[in-house]
Structure formats: structure tokens, C-alpha cells
Amino acid sequence: MSLIVSTFQISIIFHPHARHTQPCDPDIVLVSSDGVRFHVHLAVLLTASANGFAEALMPMFLSYVPYFLEEAPVAEVAATLNIVLHVAYGMSAHHFAPNIETLTNALTAVRTHYAFFSPPHLASTTCSLFSLFVDYAIRGGIESAKQVYCIAAQQHLEPLAIASSEQLLSLDIATITDEWCILIGA
């Protein structure tokens, strides 16, 4: 006889007993593409997402059984999904200090895959994702601010472009390349 032991990773923030703003324990488990489990509340995700979290949650919503945790695989890696869930719950994720790739992937996921918010909401200073981009621009200096400004320009998020441009005031105009001008739509 052999004993098979399996291990898996669970999010520190979205663990099995994390209630956050809810009166009960999580009722669904999202599994990132790299195998990390996030215990979340179906009601929070369905409220935040206009498309049932890319329709991954709709079968569970229709056949919901209390106290039975179903797992739903999602396409995002754990770092990105973590930011997406913080946005869904309206929680700050500043302490994770995500890199620009994670932020960009989270923005894409929130806007296109999960249909959380309209562009004006994403550009609001009250949106946690907006704050993460601004923090990245401040934390990383001119090059980071240029990255954020470029993303804001491409995504038509004018308030984010304005916020990140404050970090570009010391930019030497002679260092602006044609490539960067094209990226920002100039």
C-alpha cells in the first residue's frame, strides 16, 4: 500500500476563513494558472463582474450548494489574480508592490476578461488599481513613470496619465525617443 500526499498553495490573504467584508466564510475557490488557491465569496465576484468573472462562475452560481466549495480555474497567474481580487473586494494591495507586468496584466484582466468597471471608474483615484499604478510611477522614478504614462495613454485613462506625468517633470526632453512618442500617441 502506498500513501499519496498532495500539496498545494493557498493565498495568504484569500484563505479559507478570510471573510473580509462578508459575514461568512468564502464559498468558492479560484485556482490560478500556477496552482495557487484563492478562497473568495461568489457574491462579491458576481457583484464586481459584469460577465460572471469571464463566465467561469456562472455554472457554480446556477448550481450553488451552500457549504460546498467548488474550484474554478482561471487563466491568470497568482500575482495577477491577487491584484484582481483586491480590486474586486475594494482592498488595498500596496503592500505587495506589484511590478509593471503584474499591474498591466491585472488591468487587462479587470477590463477585458472580467468586465469589472468602465474606463472612467478605472481612472478614478478611488480605484485601488489606479493607486497601484501611481505608486509604481512614484516608487520607480522616471522610467517607471514613463511606463505608467504610456499605459494610461494607450488605455485612454487620462487621470492616470495626469497623475503619472507629475513624476515626469524632471524628464530631459532630449531623451524622449520617437518610439516612446508613438507609444503614447503623440
At 1-57, the pLDDT tens digits run 566 656 779 999 998 888 887 888 888 899 999 999 999 988 888 888 877 777 766
Residue range 67-113, pLDDT digits in tens: 556 788 889 999 999 999 998 888 889 999 999 999 999 998 888 77
Helix axes 128-139, 158-165, angle to 10 degrees: 30
Closest CA to 86 of 143, 141, 150, 21: 21
Considering the entire predicted model, what is its pTM? 0.84
Distances (CA, A) of 70 to 8, 25, 38, 42, 82: 16, 13, 11, 10, 19
